[in-house]
């Protein structure tokens, strides 16, 4: 029995074929190409995105000898989306990436028209330029002709449509639009109407992993599939990865280290209140049935590393050089504070106007110190999220399941363990989002009976552990409490004056 996962990411998009026990059979990857308008607004090309994914699917099926594939699950970056024509399925707008800040004015307008806490209670979200509703308002100002008879789809939803002809959202991605009621698990029609949108702009919304249908005959043969292969939207990439590593019950917390870094945990479904709102976390419907996820992220964690690699060399610094420089730095805190807000800040104090900053640099500091300080800054931000998450979950967080590209940097992991005082558990899963997407579709298609059964089916291999160094916990805690957090509010206040 084979299951296939798709992961549409900010940097790369991938397809992976797995056996039922989670063993990877084949993988293919393509760059997610970003283009820019003359005014600097970023976008993806819809047809290129489809062709890239189609070629990935074709590559993995050919590598595996075109086996019978039971199901395909599609996960993606959360807020990216586009308008397509409801009748023809043709794109009516460019594909808008989550990270472009062109929709900041629209986000500010949304927040000025309503009470932030009441919106949070319904949606589980704090207002942001990233969210689908803000992007729709921006598109309507730029391309009003694109809206008649159009439907808004996520990246996952668009690829699912190209495979099946069915238009849909899953709950976990719907929860990133700012137009979805978590409690009712339905589009918030009155809220959409307040901004001049008919509810028909949103397609059907279904639980994550729900089978949309089989692969269309006109695409199945070319991709090495059959019409019997069932297709499902697995949903939010971080939530799909959480399923793969077993973070589906309260108390098990997952850390995804990619371009953006996200801490994800699980809650039983509950009414959201003032405590959850003030924690600055986002909430949504989990892939696991009848559960919510909580999420706090740093949108420029790995992104900060990439940014600095480009600045510190005429050509982008290689990872080998970067790791070699880190080996030269003495153990313990650098004493430099880096605030990783290149694209604003997330939990526990969401602020799209926040800016990155360095504090404490001297002429004695070199490249290696700056690199390590950057890693420390991302870990301080993670610690801030961890502390508020403990408060809303009512559980101590002393262990993190960690996956993603950042796990290949041992210095980063050790810094993170020292600052958070957590044991880091690195499962032997190289592609957690891909596997989680495949598992979600496997649940929906009956390969597995539940999220627990799917997660258990791929468990069992021994993890790598990184433990805090006791002698460094105190110095890092002092810098976090008396430096990083003490100065943060002053920095935020300053940048609001610019």
Q: Distances from the Cα of 242 to the Cαs of 98, 265, 352, 360, in angstroms?
A: 20, 8, 26, 36
> What is d(CA 277, CA 171) in angstroms, rounded to the nearest whole number?
20
Residues in the chain, how many? 498
Residue 271's pLDDT is 92
Q: Is the pLDDT of residue 498 over 80?
A: no
> How would residue 124 be classed by pLDDT, with cut points 50, 70 and 90?
very high
> What is d(CA 147, CA 131) in angstroms, rounded to the nearest whole number?
18
3-class SS at 57?
A: helix
> How would residue 463 be classed by pLDDT, with cut points 50, 70 and 90?
confident
| pLDDT tens-digit readout, 208-242 | 999 999 999 999 999 999 999 999 999 999 999 99
Torsion of CA 271, 277, 280, 284, to 10 degrees: 30
Q: DSSP string of 434-451?
A: HHHHHHHHHHHTTSSSSH
User: Are the C-beta atoms of residues 458 and 20 closer than 8 Å to each other?
Assistant: no
Beta bridge partners of 334: none
> How would residue 491 be classed by pLDDT, with cut points 50, 70 and 90?
confident
Q: Is the pLDDT of residue 453 over 90?
A: yes
Query: Comparing 491 with 435, which gets the higher pLDDT?
Result: 435
- Work out the angle between the directed axes of helices 155-164 and 46-63 (0-180°, nearest 10): 60
User: Are the C-beta atoms of residues 94 and 43 closer than 8 Å to each other?
Assistant: yes
Number of domains in the chain: 1
Q: What is the CATH number of the domain that holds 22?
A: 3.30.420.40
Give the pairing of strands 291-298 and 261-268: antiparallel
Residue 108's pLDDT is 93
Q: Is the pLDDT of residue 443 over 70?
A: yes
Mean pLDDT, to the nearest integer, of 328-335?
93
> What is d(CA 432, CA 352) in angstroms, rounded to the nearest whole number?
29
Positive or negative torsion for Cα 83, 89, 94, 96: positive
> What is d(CA 420, CA 402) in angstroms, rounded to the nearest whole number?
13
Residue 495's pLDDT is 75
**pTM metric for this prediction:** 0.89
Q: Of 433, 440, 302, 310, give the one whose Cα is nearest residue 377.
A: 302
> How would residue 449 be classed by pLDDT, with cut points 50, 70 and 90?
very high
Give the pairing of strands 261-268 and 180-181: unpaired
Q: Please report whether residue 451 resides in a domain.
A: no
User: Are the C-beta atoms of residues 230 and 464 closer than 8 Å to each other?
Assistant: no
Beta bridge partners of 293: 266, 284
Q: Please report whether residue 292 resides in a domain.
A: no
> What is d(CA 423, CA 251) in angstroms, rounded to the nearest whole number?
14
Q: Please report whether residue 498 resides in a domain.
A: no
Q: Please report whether residue 148 resides in a domain.
A: yes
Q: Is the pLDDT of residue 39 over 90?
A: yes
How far is CA 252 from its chain centroid? 18
Q: Please report whether residue 361 resides in a domain.
A: no
> How would residue 394 be classed by pLDDT, with cut points 50, 70 and 90?
confident
Of 169-178, 348-357, 454-463, where does mean pLDDT reach its minimum? 454-463
Q: Please report whether residue 311 resides in a domain.
A: no
> At 359, phi and psi to the nearest 5?
-135, 130
* E strands, 408-470, in order: 423-426, 464-466
> What is d(CA 78, CA 236) in angstroms, rounded to the nearest whole number?
5
Positive or negative torsion for Cα 130, 132, 133, 137: positive
How far is CA 55 from its chain centroid? 23
* Percent residues over pLDDT 90 in the chain: 83
Mean pLDDT, to the nearest integer, of 120-139?
95
**DSSP code at position 91:** B
Mean pLDDT, to the nearest integer, of 28-44?
96
> What is d(CA 77, CA 128) in angstroms, rounded to the nearest whole number?
15
- DSSP helix, strand, coil percent of the chain (3-state; round to 5): 40, 25, 35
Residue 460's pLDDT is 67
Q: Please report whether residue 462 resides in a domain.
A: no
Query: Comparing 461 with 423, which gets the higher pLDDT?
Result: 423
The token duo for 206 is 């279904």
**Owning domain of residue 111:** 2-239
Q: Please report whether residue 392 resides in a domain.
A: no
> At 89, phi and psi to the nearest 5?
80, 5
Q: Of 79, 73, 57, 164, give the one whose Cα is nearest residue 123.
A: 79
Residue 489's pLDDT is 81
| pLDDT tens-digit readout, 342-368 | 988 888 988 878 899 999 999 999 999
Q: Is the pLDDT of residue 3 over 70?
A: yes
Mean pLDDT, to the nearest integer, of 311-322?
88
| pLDDT tens-digit readout, 244-292 | 998 998 888 999 988 889 999 999 999 999 999 999 999 999 988 889 9
> What is d(CA 86, CA 148) in angstroms, rounded to the nearest whole number?
9
> At 450, phi and psi to the nearest 5?
-165, 170
| pLDDT tens-digit readout, 57-104 | 999 999 999 999 999 999 999 999 999 999 999 999 999 999 999 999
Terminal CA-CA length for the chain: 58
Q: Is the pLDDT of residue 315 over 90?
A: no
Maximum Cα–Cα distance for the chain, whole Å?
65
Residue 122's pLDDT is 94
Rounded mean pLDDT of the chain? 94
């Amino acid at each position: 029995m084979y299951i296939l996962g798709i992961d549409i990411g900010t940097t790369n998009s991938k397809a992976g074929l797995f056996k039922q026990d989670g063993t990877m059979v084949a993988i293919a990857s393509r760059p997610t190409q970003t283009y820019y308008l003359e005014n600097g607004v970023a976008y993806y090309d819809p047809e290129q995105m489809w062709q890239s994914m189609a070629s990935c699917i074709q590559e993995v099926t050919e590598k595996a000898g075109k086996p019978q594939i039971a199901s395909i699950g599609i996960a993606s970056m959360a807020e990216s989306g586009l308008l397509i024509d409801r009748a023809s399925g043709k794109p009516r707008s460019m594909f808008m990436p989550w990270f472009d800040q062109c929709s900041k004015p629209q986000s500010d307008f949304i927040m000025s028209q309503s009470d932030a806490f009441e919106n949070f209670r319904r949606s589980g979200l704090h207002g942001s330029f990233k969210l689908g509703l803000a992007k729709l308002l921006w598109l309507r100002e730029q391309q009003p002709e694109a809206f008649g008879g159009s439907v808004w789809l996520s990246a996952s939803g668009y690829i699912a449509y190209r495979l099946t002809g069915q238009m849909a959202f899953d709950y976990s991605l719907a929860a990133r639009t700012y137009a979805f009621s978590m409690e009712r698990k339905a589009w918030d029609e009155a809220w959409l109407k307040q901004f001049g949108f008919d509810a028909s702009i949103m397609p059907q919304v279904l639980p994550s992993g729900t089978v949309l249908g089989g692969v269309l005959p006109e695409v199945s043969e070319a991709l090495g599939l059959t019409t019997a292969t069932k297709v499902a939207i697995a949903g939010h990439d971080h939530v799909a990865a959480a399923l793969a590593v077993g973070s589906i019950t309260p108390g098990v917390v997952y850390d995804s280290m990619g371009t953006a870094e996200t801490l994800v945990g699980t809650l039983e479904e509950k009414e959201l209140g003032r405590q959850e709102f003030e924690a600055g976390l986002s909430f949504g419907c989990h892939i696991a049935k009848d559960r919510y996820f909580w999420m706090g992220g740093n949108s420029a964690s790995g992104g900060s590393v990439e940014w600095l690699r480009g600045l510190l060399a005429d050509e982008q610094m290689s990872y080998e050089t970067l790791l070699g420089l880190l080996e030269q730095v003495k153990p313990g805190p650098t004493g430099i504070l880096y605030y990783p807000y290149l694209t604003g800040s997330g939990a526990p104090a969401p602020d799209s106007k926040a800016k990155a900053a360095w504090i404490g640099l001297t002429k004695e500091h070199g490249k290696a110190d700056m690199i390590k300080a950057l890693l420390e800054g991302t870990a301080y931000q993670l610690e801030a999220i961890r502390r508020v998450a403990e408060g809303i979950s009512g559980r101590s967080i002393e262990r993190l399941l960690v996956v993603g590209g950042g796990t290949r940097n041992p210095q980063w992991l050790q810094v993170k363990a020292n600052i958070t005082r957590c044991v880091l558990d690195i499962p032997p899963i190289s592609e957690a989002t891909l596997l989680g997407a495949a598992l979600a579709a496997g649940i929906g298609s009956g390969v597995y009976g539940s999220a627990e059964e799917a997660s258990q089916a791929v468990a069992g291999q021994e993890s790598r552990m990184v433990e805090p160094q006791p002698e460094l916990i105190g110095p890092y805690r002092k810098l976090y409490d008396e430096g990083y957090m003490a100065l943060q509010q002053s920095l935020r206040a300053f940048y609001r004056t610019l």
